[in-house]
Amino acid sequence: MCNNSCKPDKIFHILLYILIFIASTGCGRQTGCEIFSPDGKIRVSVATIDENRRPLLNYSVWYNNEFIVSCSPLGIRFADGSSFQENLEVISFRDSTIDETYTMPFGKTSSVHNHCNEKVISLQDQTGHRLQLIFRVFNDGIGFRYSIPGQDVPDTLEISAELTSFRFTGDYKYWGLHLNSYRTAYEKEYTVDVLSEIPPEDIIALPMLVRKSDHAWIALTEAALVNYAGMYLKTAGVNSTMLVASLSPRKDNPAIAVRAATPLTTPWCVMIIGDDPGRLVESNIVLNLNEPCSFDYSWVRPGLAIDDWNNDQTVKSTGWEGAMDNRTMKHFIDFCGDYGLQYMSIDAGWSGADYMDTTVDLTRPIPAIDIPMLVSYARQHHVEIFLWTLSTVLKKQLEEALTQFNAWGIKGFNTDFFDSDDQETVNLVNHITQTAAEHKLMVEFHGIYKPTGLSRTYPNLLAHEAVLGLEYSKWDRKPTPEHNCILPFTRMLAGPMDYIVTGFTNRTENDFRIVWDEFNAMGTRCHQLAQLVIFETGFHVLGDYPDNYRNSPGSELFRDIPVSWDETRVLRAKPGDYIVIARRKGEQWFTGSITDWAARSLVIPLDFLNQGSYDAHIYADGPDAASRATDITISTARVTEKDSLNINMAPGGGHIMHFVPVR
């Protein structure tokens, strides 16, 4: 394999290109090929011999004529010790172009353009066994996967490892989620370091962000995770700049990761590539690598919700204590109706006092909760109901429970505590999603791995959690403004995210305190509000007390803010420091901006607006926000696309603008 003795200097790049060219066009049998993006800026070379003339399957990627990864090994290893990697012969190529447009009910854009060049490379080993390597090259990145056709092999394949790797050409800075376990909920802070400093024992979850230069950014993730094990990354060795795939092992036999019959197609390994980190945030490549939806999803309705768990059903400023009962749920529903929220999410406790009790019956609520009555009451307020479920219980009762949910009239459910992405768990998650679609129910997952674009196939899948979210403020100091400024460039690249947003008990860095039933939130009021624009999801959930929102400055934005968008543009971005996003719904635009603990002033050109005048409703950190995080200033200005606006953010601050065309 290529090793780190190959220095990423200019002479090395020239020599390596010559060797790859020879490998791709060599005398006699074909040993490689090239694939280009539609705009020609991304080039991929695939070869069956490496730069040392060893018979190893590998690939290289260029962006704007600069190496991104070089001579990166590919392949699959099986439990019996055999593998697809060495001494492979190319037996055919098949080229095609995909150019289509489809619609989504939520996400970065309502209309998604899927345009790429595809090459299917058919290979054969010395025993005659066949493997297909499929590459799709987009203007914003690449996807590649393996396909093992039905052939003279055992009916059931057992895969112990993928030999997929990403051999970067330098010691680049990265942002990675070091989980160090295959049995977690992806809820941790991100590590920021250089590739050579990754400890050999560490396991890094996807997505992972890598900065090659100010004009070359790469994110690694996967798409279309179906009947397979989730992929992680490990370093190839001490001081290495090469990352290698590591699959989540099966619980019944940790020596293998995947057990499946042929034909078998793996998920897509994905590299999102751009000249600015904002271009990665705008990408729809993960969606594009999934299969299209095959059913009518007009009943899917993304929306804004409030949940009762984060505040323990506590009702403040009303003279009585809340509980898991009808009266308290009505209190939350009343707030939803008054502030234009589409959903009330009834969390753990409605089916049993102990939410981890695996013996509860999801068709029988506790006596204090009357779900049909609450559904009827909510609809009188133009609100619909979601219910929380424990995944182990739902697995046992899936068809029965969803049939009852339909009878009650609820619109969707949340299911929790998967804490794995081994093959069995992946299949369960996909089965729940498909079954929910058959019942016309929306679903979101908590305690779960990152999304992989399955929302294209099943648009009723509104969000995955898979994030250290605002709920951690109840017991930790980890959901900081800096953490929030990393998420758009890491976790959010995988797809819709349920973070729990917009706490109104706002605290500065010095004033923040951990109080279980007070739900303090780090950063300013505007930092919290801006998350409604910045974080992508089909199901935004407010976590604070209803009475903390009522009549509080900024809460009027709940009535105006959409969850689904027609267009998204990242205007300014620096991972971990700040981000400014503009999103359009119809003729109206919203911008959301957040910063880390550093105060910032940014100039934002308004050239994303259409021609004509707009009223800009501006929510800004107030003059005292640095010391009093709830301080907010609300104003209006008449602007056009030719204007620029200065935005000033306090430490841990934010900024929101809502642009309405003037008629």
In this structure, the answer to whether residues 307 and 413 fall within a common structural domain is yes
| pLDDT tens figures, 79-132 | 999 999 999 999 999 999 999 999 999 999 999 999 999 999 999 999 888 999
**Domain CATH for 437:** 3.20.20.70
State yes or no: pLDDT of 24 exceeds 70.
Answer: no
**Domain CATH for 277:** 2.70.98.10
**Is 593:655 a contact under the CB 8 Å cutoff?**
yes
pLDDT at 153: 60
State yes or no: pLDDT of 658 exceeds 50.
Answer: yes
Residue 216 is classified by DSSP as E
| pLDDT tens figures, 326-365 | 999 999 999 999 999 999 999 999 999 898 999 999 999 9
In this structure, the answer to whether residues 461 and 530 fall within a common structural domain is no
State yes or no: pLDDT of 320 exceeds 90.
Answer: no
State yes or no: pLDDT of 30 exceeds 70.
Answer: no
In this structure, the answer to whether residues 484 and 421 fall within a common structural domain is no
In this structure, the answer to whether residues 150 and 249 fall within a common structural domain is yes
Return d(Cα 175, Cα 194) in angstroms, integer: 9
State yes or no: pLDDT of 29 exceeds 60.
Answer: no
pLDDT at 4: 39
In this structure, the answer to whether residues 462 and 502 fall within a common structural domain is no
In this structure, the answer to whether residues 274 and 307 fall within a common structural domain is no
Query: Which of 13-22, 62-71, 414-423 shows the lowest per-residue confidence on average (mean pLDDT)?
Result: 13-22
Position with higher pLDDT, 54 vs 656: 656
Residue closest to 67 by CA, chosen among 11, 135, 119:
11
How many domains, in total, are found in the chain?
Answer: 3
Return d(Cα 246, Cα 176) in angstroms, integer: 15
| pLDDT tens figures, 394-403 | 999 999 999 9
Q: How confident is the model at residue 150 (pLDDT cuts 50, 70, 90)?
A: confident
Return d(Cα 223, Cα 44) in angstroms, integer: 19
In this structure, the answer to whether residues 447 and 471 fall within a common structural domain is no
Judge whether 486 lies within some domain.
yes
**Is 623:570 a contact under the CB 8 Å cutoff?**
no
Return d(Cα 567, Cα 610) in angstroms, integer: 13
| pLDDT tens figures, 327-337 | 999 999 999 99
**Is 206:494 a contact under the CB 8 Å cutoff?**
yes
Q: Which of 466, 498, 520 is the last residue of a domain?
A: 466
Judge whether 296 lies within some domain.
no
State yes or no: pLDDT of 64 exceeds 60.
Answer: yes
**Is 147:266 a contact under the CB 8 Å cutoff?**
yes
Domain that holds residue 354: 302-466
State yes or no: pLDDT of 554 exceeds 70.
Answer: yes
State yes or no: pLDDT of 496 exceeds 70.
Answer: yes
Prediction pTM value: 0.95
In this structure, the answer to whether residues 186 and 238 fall within a common structural domain is yes
Judge whether 74 lies within some domain.
yes
Return d(Cα 544, Cα 550) in angstroms, integer: 11
Judge whether 295 lies within some domain.
no
Other beta carbons within 10 Å of 367 = 7
In this structure, the answer to whether residues 500 and 638 fall within a common structural domain is yes
Please list, residue by residue across 91-109, b when 16 or more beta carbons sit within 10 angstroms of its beta carbon and e when fewer do. eeeeeeeeeeeeebbbbbb
State yes or no: pLDDT of 174 exceeds 80.
Answer: yes
In this structure, the answer to whether residues 267 and 329 fall within a common structural domain is no
- Mapped onto helix, strand or coil, the DSSP state of residue 66 is strand
pLDDT at 27: 27
Return d(Cα 530, Cα 116) in angstroms, integer: 33
pLDDT at 370: 98
pLDDT at 23: 45
pLDDT at 17: 52
Judge whether 273 lies within some domain.
yes
Q: How confident is the model at residue 51 (pLDDT cuts 50, 70, 90)?
A: confident
Q: Which of 228, 259, 288 is the last residue of a domain?
A: 288
Residue 249 is classified by DSSP as P
Q: How many CA atoms lie within 13 A of 636 on its CB side?
A: 8
Judge whether 5 lies within some domain.
no
Return d(Cα 146, Cα 473) in angstroms, integer: 42
pLDDT at 22: 46
Return d(Cα 464, Cα 206) in angstroms, integer: 14
Average pLDDT taken over every residue of the chain: 94
pLDDT at 191: 98
Q: How confident is the model at residue 317 (pLDDT cuts 50, 70, 90)?
A: low
- What does each C-alpha distance from 6 to 173, 239, 243, 297, 460 come to in angstroms? 19, 13, 15, 52, 48
Judge whether 3 lies within some domain.
no
- Mapped onto helix, strand or coil, the DSSP state of residue 335 is helix
In this structure, the answer to whether residues 228 and 270 fall within a common structural domain is yes
- What does each C-alpha distance from 597 to 315, 467, 652 come to in angstroms? 32, 20, 4
Judge whether 2 lies within some domain.
no
Helix or strand (DSSP H, E) at 632: strand 632-640
The pLDDT > 90 percentage for the chain reads 89
In this structure, the answer to whether residues 343 and 395 fall within a common structural domain is yes
pLDDT at 5: 36
pLDDT at 12: 46
Q: What is the rounded average pLDDT of the residues 311-324?
A: 75
Q: How confident is the model at residue 316 (pLDDT cuts 50, 70, 90)?
A: low
State yes or no: pLDDT of 598 exceeds 80.
Answer: yes
- Mapped onto helix, strand or coil, the DSSP state of residue 614 is strand
Structure tokens at 22: 């020879």
Q: What is the rounded average pLDDT of the residues 646-659?
A: 98
Q: Which of 233, 266, 288 is the last residue of a domain?
A: 288
Cis before residue 207, ω within 30 degrees of 0? Answer: yes
pLDDT at 152: 58
233 residue type, one letter: L
| pLDDT tens figures, 511-533 | 999 988 788 999 999 999 999 99
